[in-house]
Amino acid sequence: MNYYQQHHAEYLEGLKTFLRIPSISTLSEHKPDIKKAAEFVRAELEKAGLQQAQLIEGQGNPLVYAEWLGAPGKPTLLLYGHYDVQPPDPLDEWKSPPFEPAIRNDNIYARGSADDKGQTYILIKAVEGLLKQHGRLPINVKFLIEGEEEVGGEHIESYVATKPARLKSDAAVICDTEMFAPELPTICVGLRGIIYGELVVEGANHDLHSGVYGGAAPNPIQAIAEILSTLKDREGHIRIPGFYDRVVAPSAKERAAWARLPFDEKEYTEKEMGAKALVGEPEIPLFERLWARPTLEVHGIRGGFTGEGAKTVIPARALAKLSLRLVADQRPDEATAQLQKAIAAACPKGVTAEYRPIHSAPPSLVNPDNRYIQAAAEAMKQVFGKETVYIRSGGSIPIVAAFDEFLGIPSVMMGFGLPDDNLHAPNEKLHLPNFFRGIEAVARYLELL
Ligand code: BES
Ligand code: MN
Ligand code: MN
C-alpha cells in the first residue's frame, strides 16, 4: 500500500465534512454556509502544508488562495476548483438527504460530491500527500478555489483580470469535468459558453377573466410559447439570424476521434438519460451536437395559475428562464444582442417581451499539443491503466476562457466524474474508486512534470 492508499479513510472523512456544508451559491439564505465552505477549504489548504492560505473577499463569494513556491526554475500550476454547489431540489427524489453524505455501492451520494467538492478535494489531497511524504513539491502550485461557479459569478474573473502577476503560472489544472466512461481516463479540451437570462412578457395590466376577455385579450404565456418556437424549430435548429455565423466546425481529426469512442446510444438514451428518444439537429452527429453546436433551452416558465384544480384566468404577465450554450468562436455579447433582436421580431401583438441577461461565459477550446496536457494524459494512463482519450464537454466553466485571455495559459481539464453522476440533479454521486485514483493521478502528474 502506498501513502495515498493508507489514507483512504481519512480522505473520506474529510470529504464528508466538506459535503455536509450546504454551500448553495444561488440562494442568499445560504451565505453563512458559503463562508463556512470557504473557511473549510482555507483550513484544509493550510493543513496540507501550503503557504499564504487565505480568503480573498470582494464582491460576491470569497475566493480561497494558497501557494507553495519552493521549486524555483520549475513549472507553476494554477489549481482550480469550486466549493459552491447547485440547489438540491427536488428534495423528495433523493434516496438519502443531499447534505448527509451516504455511501452505497462504492459511491458517495451528496450534493457537490462530483461537482465540485469531491474533485476540488482531490487536488488538495494530492498536494498534501506529496508535501507530507517529501516535505516539498516537485513543482510550484497556486490554488484558486471559487464559490460562485454555479451562478456564473464575476468575482474570480475580475480577480484574474486584475492580478495576472500574482497568478502567473504555466498552466491551470481543473478537476471539474467527467470521464467519458468508467475506467476510461479522459481529458476535456473544449467547453461550451453560455448566455443565461429571463424573458419577461407582459400583456394587460391585470389578470383577466378568460371567458369574459378570451378572444380579445393578449395572453403572455401563449406569447412565450410563440416566441420560443420561433427561436428554435422542431428539428433543433436555432432560428436567430446570424447566430451560427461564427460557429467553427470540429476538425476531421477530432470528428474521427469522437467516432471511435466506445458508446452505446440506446444505453445512453434509456439508462443514463432515462429518455424515450434523442432529439436535436438530425444531420449532425451526437457528440458534435453536444460539444460543438450551440443550443437553446428553456429552464422554467412561471405565470398564471398552476395550483390545484382549475382557475379560468388570462395572466397579465409571464416569465421564462432560458439559456443558449455557445461554441467557439461565438461571443456572449453578440449572441445576446442577436437574441434580443430575434425576440423583438417574434413578439406577438398586444404584449411586450424583454430579455434580461443574468450571466454569461465565453466558450473555450484548448490545444492539447503542450507538455502540460501531455503529462496529464500520461499520469492518468499510468494510474488507470488505459490510454487517455480527449473529448469536449457541453457544460461550461466560465473561468477557462479567462485563464486563456488574462494569463495566457492553457487549462488542463482532468476530470474524475462519471456520466451517470447526476450533476445538478437528485442523487448526485462520486464514484469512490475515481476519487482515490484521482488523488493519485494528480500526484503522479505533478511528479511527471
Ligand atoms: N462542472 C460543471 C461543468 C461541467 C459539467 C463540465 C460536466 C464538464 C462536464 C460546472 O459546475 C457547471 O455546472 N457549470 C455551469 C456553468 C454556468 C452556471 C455558468 C453549467 O455548465 O451550467
Ligand atoms: Mn463544476
Ligand atoms: Mn455545476
Three-state secondary structure of 8-35: HHHHHHHHHHHHCCCCECCCHHHHHHHH
For the chain, how many residues are written? 449
**Any alpha helices (H) in 135-171, and if so which ranges?**
155-162, 164-167
Cα–ligand 3 centroid distance for 115 (angstroms): 5
* Extended strands (E) in 315-375: 317-326, 352-361, 364-365
User: In angstroms, what CA-CA distances link 83 with 79, 194, 206, 378, 432?
Assistant: 13, 21, 43, 28, 19
- pLDDT above 90 coverage of the chain, percent: 99
Read off the pLDDT of residues 52-68 as tens digits, 9 standing for 90 and up: 999 999 989 999 999 99
Q: Distance between CA atoms of 427 and 88, rounded to whole angstroms?
A: 9
- Using a cut of 0.75, tell me whether the model's pTM lies above it: yes
For residue 395, the ligand 1 atom closest to its alpha carbon is 21
Using omega within 30 degrees of 0 as the cis cutoff, is the peptide bond preceding 90 cis?
yes
Cα–ligand 1 centroid distance for 397 (angstroms): 5
For residue 323, the ligand 1 atom closest to its alpha carbon is 22
For residue 393, the ligand 1 atom closest to its alpha carbon is 8
180-212 exposure pattern, b = at least 16 Cβ within 10 A, e = fewer:
beeebbbbbbbbbbbbbbbbbbbbbeebbebee
Q: Which of 149, 151, 192, 291 maximizes ligand 1 atoms within 8 Å of its Cβ, making it the mutation to test the pocket?
A: 149
User: In angstroms, what CA-CA distances link 432 with 109, 115, 119, 225, 421?
Assistant: 10, 14, 11, 43, 11
Residue of the nearest CA to atom 8 in ligand 1?
A: 177
Say if residue 363's pLDDT is above 90: yes
What's the CATH number for 3-191+364-448?
3.40.630.10
Query: Average pLDDT of the chain?
Result: 97
DSSP 182: T
Q: Which of 178, 295, 423, 424 maximizes ligand 1 atoms within 8 Å of its Cβ, making it the mutation to test the pocket?
A: 423
- All three cell numbers of 248, joined, read 467553427
Cα–ligand 1 centroid distance for 413 (angstroms): 13
* Residues 290 and 206 sit within 8 Å (Cβ to Cβ): no
Mean pLDDT over 326-353 rounds to 98
Domain boundaries, the chain: 3-191+364-448, 193-247+294-361
Residue of the nearest CA to atom 5 in ligand 1?
A: 395
Say if residue 154's pLDDT is above 90: no
Q: Distance between CA atoms of 117 and 349, rounded to whole angstroms?
A: 48
For residue 178, the ligand 1 atom closest to its alpha carbon is 9
Give the number of whichever ligand sits closest to the CA of residue 179: 1
Nearest to 416 by CA among 78, 108, 115: 115
Cα–ligand 3 centroid distance for 35 (angstroms): 19
Residue of the nearest CA to atom 9 in ligand 1?
A: 177
Cα–ligand 1 centroid distance for 176 (angstroms): 8
Domain covering 193-247+294-361: architecture: 2-Layer Sandwich (3.30)
Q: With H, G, I as helix, E, B as strand and everything else as coil, classify residue 91.
A: helix
For residue 424, the ligand 1 atom closest to its alpha carbon is 13
Q: Which of 26, 113, 115, 421 maximizes ligand 1 atoms within 8 Å of its Cβ, making it the mutation to test the pocket?
A: 115
Terminal-residue alpha carbon distance, the chain: 24
Q: Distance between CA atoms of 338 and 184, rounded to whole angstroms?
A: 40
423-440 exposure pattern, b = at least 16 Cβ within 10 A, e = fewer:
beebbbbbbbebbbbbbb
* Extended strands (E) in 253-316: 295-303, 313-314
Q: With H, G, I as helix, E, B as strand and everything else as coil, classify residue 298.
A: strand
Cα–ligand 3 centroid distance for 424 (angstroms): 6
Give the number of whichever ligand sits closest to the CA of residue 117: 2
pLDDT tier for residue 153 given thresholds of 50, 70 and 90: confident
Cα–ligand 2 centroid distance for 194 (angstroms): 14
* Pocket lined around ligand 1, Cβ cut-off 6 Å: 115-116, 149-150, 152, 176-178, 194, 359, 361, 393, 395-398, 423
Cα–ligand 2 centroid distance for 275 (angstroms): 24
Cα–ligand 3 centroid distance for 85 (angstroms): 7
For residue 361, the ligand 1 atom closest to its alpha carbon is 19
* Residues 55 and 63 sit within 8 Å (Cβ to Cβ): yes
For residue 359, the ligand 1 atom closest to its alpha carbon is 19
Cell match 484548448: residue? 366
For the chain, how are helix, strand and coil distributed in percent, rounded to 5?
Answer: 35, 25, 40
Mean pLDDT over 36-53 rounds to 98
Q: Distance between CA atoms of 160 and 140, rounded to whole angstroms?
A: 18
Q: Which of 82, 86, 176 maximizes ligand 1 atoms within 8 Å of its Cβ, making it the mutation to test the pocket?
A: 176
Cα–ligand 1 centroid distance for 306 (angstroms): 30
Cα–ligand 2 centroid distance for 149 (angstroms): 7
Phi/psi of residue 12, nearest 5 degrees:
-65, -45
Nearest to 379 by CA among 432, 443, 433: 443
Name residues with Cβ closer than 5 Å to ligand 2, which is an ion. Answer: 115-116, 176
One-letter amino acid for residue 12 of the chain: L
Say if residue 152's pLDDT is above 90: no
- All three cell numbers of 388, joined, read 487517455
Q: Distance between CA atoms of 287 and 284, rounded to whole angstroms?
A: 9
Nearest to 196 by CA among 355, 408, 67: 355
Phi/psi of residue 429, nearest 5 degrees:
-145, 165
Give the number of whichever ligand sits closest to the CA of residue 397: 1
